[in-house]
Structures are given as structure tokens and as C-alpha cells.
Structure 1
Amino acid sequence: PWDKCPKCGAPREALEGEKRVFDTWFDSSISVLYASGYSRYPEVHKLYVEGKAKALRPQGIDIIRTWLYYTVLRIYLLLGRPAFDMVRLSGMGLDEKGEAMHKSKGNVIYPEPYIEKYGADAFRYWSAAASKLGSDYRFSEQLLRTGALFVNKLWNIARFVSAFPKTDDAKILPQDMAILGMLNDVIRKVRSGFENLDFYDPINTLYHFIWDVFASHYIELVKNRAYNFEGEFSDEEQRSAWRTLHTVLKNSLLLLAPMLPFVTDAIWRQLYGSGKSVHLEMLPEPNPEWDTPLAKHFETVMKINSGIWTYKKSRNMRLSEPLNAILYIPKEMEPFAEDLKHLHKLADVRPGEKPPSNAIEIATGCFLYVL
């Protein structure tokens, strides 16, 4: 600060500060006019005033009573309309201990080293998976690691699926329609989240579906049918698996693209876009033809898989090792019988038959009888 006035030379202690000061947030409340082209693009501004151009304000919860309130009030007084159609409120970014970041505390976390270490998509995964609308969000290196692993998982899934031809004209059989029914639910949830400016639910929904359902269960279930090395499956069954694998991957990439833009674009350009970007595509919509009661049975299939894998591990068996046992499943799950038999290398799968009294129940209504 000056010791004296640079103009008149009066000493500092003789100077009196200006008392007629506006709150700076009040001044910034007309930023909407600038952003809507008030003085620069009158035709665009006219669309805004008439409500034909949508307006969104993304901001933190800490300035609701200042910037947001002043903006809403002032624009309404000036233009006679709400300042925004929607306001997206985010919480405050905290360190791993849940404390606010301040330079004076020395706990400010800069993104560059973590982007360098884990990748931009992993960092974006964390920002989506950690932040509910309106809630504070903690920095988490563990979530960054999870994001990096998810990106790698997605890449490996794409490598596997790319080994099979695209069969868009193939008939989709009931055992494959089940996973598409689950995909339909995912599409609805993700679209609903995006419409509400939310990324938390979409990224967590997609993570669970892609990793825990598609990769861990469906791909494992149809792997034998997709390769069909022994010729035990018909051409129709194999082609159905091929088409379903590509359908699920393709839709998953489209849904993930707004949140993981780099890996999805790289995969899309190679497999589906003929070099064009995934970001030129529209979000997928639910397909009414995929809605099927078999979707709920696929959840039972996952429980069967987990039950048999647990049984094998408890006996120090490799998961790929044959199991001399018979699986009894409800009649309505018959479409999954052959895939289950080949995945677990069972002696037999018997839909609709009554199991022996000493069979092990590994899922509701599903029994394993070891010979």
C-alpha cells in the first residue's frame, strides 16, 4: 500500500476510504446479460429473452445467497423473466480428510500430477463418482485408481469383443435378450441422470453394469458359445452371442462418452465409427423390444455363477476345472442351461426337475447336486 496519495501527496493516515461501495456479487449479477449477447449479439439475446434459448447456471452452494440471488432478482427486474432455466449446484471440493482446501493450510491438491499418473479419464471418473449434486466431495486417490482400472477394463472388454464379427442381422435369442433387458434399465437410469445434470448416478450405474454384470458374468457365460471351438453350439446361437456382445459394448461406449471421453472415443473410432468420433453420436434410447422378464432371471444366473465359483474355491478347485455335479434350475430359466453347463463344466443342467433332498441351494430355487 501507498504511504501517501500519489496525486496530492497527502499522508496515508489523512486519507479516508470510499464508503459508497457495491457488493461485487451485485455487480456480477448482470453477467447473464453479457453471456446471452446483450450488447454483442442482439439476435441471440432476443432468443434468450423470449425463452427460446435455454440457460444453465453451474455454481457452488456457497454463493447461493450472493451471486445466485442477486442474479435472479436483477435479471427479473430488468427483463421480466427468470435468469436461468436450471441451476446446477455443486458442493465444495475437500481434501482426503474432509477438510476444505486452503493454501494457508497447505492441503491444496493440484490435478496435474494425478492426471499424469492415472490419466485424464481416471480423473474425470473420480470427479463424477465422488460428487453428488449439492453435496461436498472429497478428493480420493483410491477412486482415481478405480477409474484407471475401469478404463483398462473397458479397453480389455473392447479387445475381446473386437475378436468377433458384427452380426447386426442376427436373431437375438432369449438367453441374450436378458442382458439387453438389463441394458435397457441402465439406459433409462443414465438418461434420467443426465437430464437432471447429474453424473454421480450415471457413472456408478455404468461401472456396476459394465464390470460386475457384463464383464464378470455375461462375457464369461457366453465365451464358449462365442468362440464355439468344439462346434457344440449352432450357428444361430453363436451369431446371437456375437451381436449381443457388440450391442452391449456399443451402447456402453455411447453412455460413458460424456464422462470418459478419451478411451470411449479411441475404441469407438476403431470399432464402430470408421474413424469418426463417438462425440458426434446421440445418446442411445431404450429399445422396447429388449424389455423382457428374462432380465430378472439373469440376476439369478449371476447368483448361480457366484455360488458355484464359491463352492469350487472352498474345495481348492480351479474355476476352469470340471465339476461332476448336476444343476437344477426353474423351468423358466431353461434358455440359460447350455451356457451354464459349459461355463462351469457341469455334468448336466436340468430345468424344471425336482432336485434330490441333499442338493445344495446356491440361489433361490436353484440347487447343485454333487455326484
Structure 2
Amino acid sequence: VEPKFGTGLMMVCTFGDIEDVIKWRKDNLETRIIMDDRSILNSLAGQYVGIKLSPVRQKIVDDLSKQGLVVKSTAIQHSVGVHDRCSHAVEFNIKPQWFIKILDFKDQFLRRGEQLKWFPEFMKVRYTEWVSNLKWDWNISRQRYYGVPFPVWYCKACNHTIIAAVNDLPVDPLTDKTKINNCPKCRNTDFMPETDVMDTWMTSSLTPLINTKWAYQDSLQDKIYPMSLRPQAFEIIRTWLFYTIVKSHFHTNSLPWEGVMISGWGLDDDGKKMSKSLGNFIAPEEVIDRYSADALRYWASGATLGHDLRYSEEDVRNGKRLLTKLWNAARFFSQNLGDFYPYQQIQPSIIDKWILSKLQDTIFKATESFENYEYSHALMTTERFFWDIYCDNYLEIIKDRFWNPEDYSGEAVVSTKDTMYKVFLNILKLFAPFLPYITEELYSIIYKKFENKNSIHTSSWPEVNVNLIDKEAESQGELLLTILKGVRKCKTDLKIHQNHWVSELVIRSTNGVQKEIVQITNDLKSAARAQKISFDKEAIFQTENPNR
């Protein structure tokens, strides 16, 4: 209500809005239905009979003007209920409907909402507010040509309702006759079918029960019910989610699932919801043809639960770059395998221990994110490990073992191959839910001949190996990276190319840290492109840690 708009008097114009309907019911106002289902006016409209409602409004104004009864005419703006797709004004009419009583059970439905695990948790408030503010029972019938029919007939004489027996279902009363010959109430023999069909939520709310074969003797109810998860968008919390809970509560006295994962909408690059009616949707086929299905999945996997995701072609391109990087990393690995056979009993080097330990942390975080259905976090964790730790650092450090194997022991080279094999396999597995095509391709090329699974998608999810967690190796690895960071900065400042070899790298540090560096000298020399490493009080650069 706008206090400054109108006269202050309430006009009851059934059925303009919900307040009109409430007052009509409360005060038992007289009902005059002046139009049919096609909004054509009937005889109650007097001289306007046979005219559609929309044009008749202007005709009434014109007639009043001709009679000199229009005192003032001013253009105004006010809220009008319209259809969400075609934007035409909605007109209310009275029709008999089928309902399921839910208002008397609101407290029970609220308790069900509390029992449900919400991902994300804050989406529960939408359910709670909807149930708390319900003002009417569930209308389950629709006046449409398509839909699941009600298995119902009516006696033409006394209007008695005749419902089909359960054993006779499915039934379409428009084509099927009743199994009884006489009305149980008045013995009449003429019946008319119910022409309404069920609302889509009435039938779709049964999906968990249908999947359990709930109504059949070979039901799976005891084995898979309640189910683990319902994934859906937020705008149908009040419909699909709520009504599914209603049906499960009434039929089985339980929740249909243990948890629910709520997503947002896909938005266009202007931040508007993608829809066919607006024509602002992105055709996935075009994106796939240009960038690949995996690149598009990469963009979609960046969605945060409960939040909308704006389409970004730059994000799709980033996905394409990730695919290229995965392919190149796999090529480097496969080209240097030689006659290697995996899972040999060999002592890994410090830098191998370092990345194996870092991998365990990545597996733990990615798995935890998936368990909470935060798949975008799992992708971010995996991608950061692959780019920053594996490609930018580990591969750069160990390249020299393949290029100059004579400078390393045979055991060190085999250790590197074995470590690369294990780490890259786990990287592919962690990426597989997001990038199913390239991970399957690379698995088939490199791993299928060694592993006991024909597909990466039937292999086991990575598990944390606590025996590979090595904090000492992690500390030494971080020390190496700290030095490399300083070397790279120094080369940049001196305008020296990063791949340019220097004759000597002089490091200033404490004696204790010097002993740590000695253990990683070969790897440091390789990564820093330094022919010699020495220690001195005055060095070209100093690490960020003054104790080192």
C-alpha cells in the first residue's frame, strides 16, 4: 500500500489481488463472474457481452466520456500482476480445484527442514520463511490440455465423486470408463470425467519415491531411502524441494534425502538470468566447438554454492589454457618415461618427498571440499597445486635429471619418474570430475597399461597417505623455493633471462640452513641455472626470512 496514492478507501475488486480474495472470503461477498475462461464477457456485462476483457476497458472509458461522466483522466503507474514469461496481465477467476491440506502441518514441515543438511547452510532460511508464511493449502490441479490426469469421474445426477481403484491405475477418465455401472449414492448410470490434470509439482515431487519403486513389491525403499542428496537451484526451494518433502513426509514419515545442494542461476555477461524468452542464453554447442566441452565445464565448475555464476568467455579460455598445460605436462612425462615400470621400491629424493607430501595436503583439501559439495573449492585447490607446485616448481627443478642424468645417481632418476607417475596420476584423478575428457585421454595414453582399471572414471578416488606426509621435506622444499624466488627476482632486476646459466650463485645464510641447502644442491643448481653454489656473508640477494 502506498499511503500517498489514492483516497484511503479500499476498493474490493474481486479478484484483483490476494487482499481482495481474503476480504471476499472473510466477508462472504457476493460473487459475480462476468467472463469465461477466454476472458470474454458474458451476459452479466450487459451491453459489453461478447467482448474480450482487455479492449473493453478502453471502450467503457470512451462510453463514459461520451456521457460527460469522466471528470479527469491522468496517466498513472501501478503494480499489475503479470505472467512471468509472456508478461500479459493475469486475471483471476473461480474454478473448483483439488487441494492437499498442508497448513495444519506447518510445524512438522519446519522440523523436517531442520533435520535436512543444507549446502550452503544459509539457504535454509528460504525454506523456513516460505513454510512459516504459507497462507493456503496446496492446489494440485491445473486446467490444461497436458499433464497427468486425475483418475476421477463424477455422477451427472448427484455430482458424487468416483475414484478409480489402485489396482486399476493408470487411468485416463477422458478415454477410460469407470469399473462401476451405477453411482453408489443415487444409482445413476451416467458419469462425466474429471478434465483437470495434476500440477507438475504434484508429480515431480514423487521422483525419489518413484526411483525406489515405492508402490511395488520389489521396492528399494529400505536400501536407498532416504537418498543422500538433492541438487537443485534456489528458485524452486518453495516448490520442488518443499513439495517433495511434503509427499515424503505424508507417504513415508521421513525425509526424501539426507541433504540438499542449492545452486544459483547462470547469468549472461551483463549479469541477467539466461532464459529463452530473453534470448540471452549462450548456446553450449558453439562454445564447445570453439573451446571444447572440458573448457566449458571448467567455467561451470567455478560456481559457488548458493550464488549465481556470470558467463565469462575469459574463464572458458582459462579452461582451454589449463587443458593445454595438462597435455604438455603429460607429454613431458611420457617422453621421459623410457623403460620405466611404476611402483618400484626406491627411496625418493628430498624434492620428491616434498611434492608427495604437498600432494597429500591437496588430496585432503579437495576431498573435504567435495564432501561439503563445494566443488569450486576442490577445483581451485587442485588447479593451484598443478600450476604453482607441480608445473612451475617441481617440473622446473627435476628437468635436469632427464637432460643431464650423468650428474645424478640412477636411483635419483628412477625416483623422479616414480614420483611423477604417482603425482600426475593423482592430479588427473582430482581433475577428472571437472575435465572428464582430457583426463580420460591422458589416462588411456599413459596409465591404462599399468593400472588395473580401463577408465580413470572407474578408478578409486585418491586417498591421503599419512606415511608420505613429511614436514621436514616440506621445509626443505620451501627453502629451495624461497631461494629460487630470490634468484628469479635478481635475474629480472638485472635483466637476465631466467633460463640463462650463471657461473656462481652466492647465498648468505646461517650455518644451520647451509647444511639444509647442501642436501638439495643439485636440484637448486638445476632450477636456478647456476653452475656453482657458494655461501658468503655478502650476497647478491637475501631471502625474506632473516634467519635464513
1:71 and 2:251 matched: no
* 1:173/1:237 contact within 8 Å kept: yes
Of 298, 301, 326, which residue of structure 1 is paired with 2:477?
298
* 1:268/1:278 contact within 8 Å kept: yes
**What CA distance in whole angstroms lies between the structure 2 residues aligned with 1:286 and 1:328?**
37
- Report deviation, 1:89: 0.8
* 1:26/1:70 contact within 8 Å kept: yes
**What CA distance in whole angstroms lies between the structure 1 residues aligned with 2:301 and 2:490?**
37
* 2:356/2:468 contact within 8 Å kept: yes
Question: CA distance change for structure 1 residues 89 and 292 in 2, over 3 Å: closer, same or farther?
Answer: same
Match in the other structure for 2:490? 311
Match in the other structure for 1:261? 436
Question: CA distance change for structure 1 residues 242 and 295 in 2, over 3 Å: closer, same or farther?
Answer: same
1:47 and 2:47 matched: no
Match in the other structure for 1:88? 261
> Which residue identity lines up with residue 379 of structure 2 in the other structure?
I
* 1:338/1:349 contact within 8 Å kept: no
Cα deviations across residues 30-58 of structure 1 (Å, max 9, x unaligned)? Answer: 22211222235733233234x5xx33211
**What CA distance in whole angstroms lies between the structure 1 residues aligned with 2:289 and 2:475?**
42
**What CA distance in whole angstroms lies between the structure 2 residues aligned with 1:3 and 1:133?**
43
**What CA distance in whole angstroms lies between the structure 2 residues aligned with 1:270 and 1:225?**
23
Cα deviations across residues 92-136 of structure 1 (Å, max 9, x unaligned)? Answer: 11112222223443322221110111001111111112x011111
Match in the other structure for 1:202? 378
Q: What secondary structure, in the 3-state scheme, does the structure 2 residue paired with 1:346 have?
A: coil
**What CA distance in whole angstroms lies between the structure 1 residues aligned with 2:547 and 2:269?**
44
Of 97, 102, 106, which residue of structure 1 is paired with 2:270?
97
- Match runs of 1:1-371 below 5 Å: 18-20=95-97, 22-23=139-140, 24=199, 25-39=201-215, 42-49=218-225, 51=226, 54-129=227-302, 131-162=303-334, 163-164=336-337, 165-169=340-344, 170-229=346-405, 231-274=406-449, 276-293=454-471, 294-323=473-502, 324-328=504-508, 330=513, 331-350=515-534, 355-357=536-538, 359-365=540-546
Structure that is richer in helix per residue:
1
Q: What secondary structure, in the 3-state scheme, does the structure 1 residue paired with 2:505 have?
A: strand
**What CA distance in whole angstroms lies between the structure 2 residues aligned with 1:109 and 1:139?**
8
> Which residue identity lines up with residue 154 of structure 1 in the other structure?
L
> Which residue identity lines up with residue 325 of structure 2 in the other structure?
K
**What CA distance in whole angstroms lies between the structure 2 residues aligned with 1:86 and 1:241?**
43
Question: CA distance change for structure 1 residues 262 and 358 in 2, over 3 Å: closer, same or farther?
Answer: closer
Match in the other structure for 1:8? none
**What CA distance in whole angstroms lies between the structure 2 residues aligned with 1:310 and 1:359?**
11
**What CA distance in whole angstroms lies between the structure 1 residues aligned with 2:370 and 2:407?**
43
Q: What secondary structure, in the 3-state scheme, does the structure 1 residue paired with 2:464 have?
A: coil
Question: CA distance change for structure 1 residues 315 and 166 in 2, over 3 Å: closer, same or farther?
Answer: farther
- Report deviation, 1:265: 0.6
Structure 1 window deviating more from structure 2 (38-47 vs 118-127): it is 38-47
How many percent of aligned residue pairs carry the same amino acid?
29
- Report deviation, 1:216: 0.7
> Which residue identity lines up with residue 213 of structure 1 in the other structure?
I
Structure 1 window deviating more from structure 2 (119-128 vs 169-178): it is 169-178
- Report deviation, 1:182: 0.4
Cα deviations across residues 181-211 of structure 1 (Å, max 9, x unaligned)? Answer: 1000011011112222221011111111111
Long gaps (5+) in structure 1: 5-10
- Report deviation, 1:26: 4.6
Structure 1 window deviating more from structure 2 (178-187 vs 34-43): it is 34-43
> Which residue identity lines up with residue 390 of structure 2 in the other structure?
F
Kindly tell me the number of residue pairs found equivalent between the two proteins: 354
Question: CA distance change for structure 1 residues 321 and 262 in 2, over 3 Å: closer, same or farther?
Answer: same
**What CA distance in whole angstroms lies between the structure 2 residues aligned with 1:321 and 1:223?**
15
* 2:508/2:539 contact within 8 Å kept: no
Q: What secondary structure, in the 3-state scheme, does the structure 2 residue paired with 1:102 have?
A: coil
Which of these two proteins has the greater Rg computed from alpha carbons? 2
Structure 1 window deviating more from structure 2 (68-77 vs 36-45): it is 36-45
> Which residue identity lines up with residue 223 of structure 1 in the other structure?
K
Q: What secondary structure, in the 3-state scheme, does the structure 2 residue paired with 1:73 have?
A: helix
Structure 1 window deviating more from structure 2 (82-91 vs 69-78): it is 69-78
Q: What secondary structure, in the 3-state scheme, does the structure 1 residue paired with 2:281 have?
A: coil
* 1:98/1:138 contact within 8 Å kept: yes
* 2:500/2:529 contact within 8 Å kept: yes
> Which residue identity lines up with residue 139 of structure 1 in the other structure?
Y
**What CA distance in whole angstroms lies between the structure 1 residues aligned with 2:440 and 2:203?**
41
Question: CA distance change for structure 1 residues 289 and 38 in 2, over 3 Å: closer, same or farther?
Answer: same
Q: What secondary structure, in the 3-state scheme, does the structure 2 residue paired with 1:316 have?
A: coil
- Report deviation, 1:359: 4.3
Structure 1 window deviating more from structure 2 (155-164 vs 297-306): it is 297-306
* 2:507/2:539 contact within 8 Å kept: no
**What CA distance in whole angstroms lies between the structure 2 residues aligned with 1:211 and 1:87?**
32
> Which residue identity lines up with residue 42 of structure 1 in the other structure?
D
Match in the other structure for 1:7? none
**What CA distance in whole angstroms lies between the structure 2 residues aligned with 1:86 and 1:280?**
25
* 2:229/2:259 contact within 8 Å kept: yes
* 2:429/2:461 contact within 8 Å kept: yes
Cα deviations across residues 253-291 of structure 1 (Å, max 9, x unaligned)? Answer: 111111111111111111111282111100110111210
* 2:487/2:528 contact within 8 Å kept: yes
**What CA distance in whole angstroms lies between the structure 1 residues aligned with 2:273 and 2:96?**
32
Long gaps (5+) in structure 2: 1-36, 41-49, 54-92, 99-138, 141-198
Cα deviations across residues 8-27 of structure 1 (Å, max 9, x unaligned)? Answer: xxx7979x652425253355
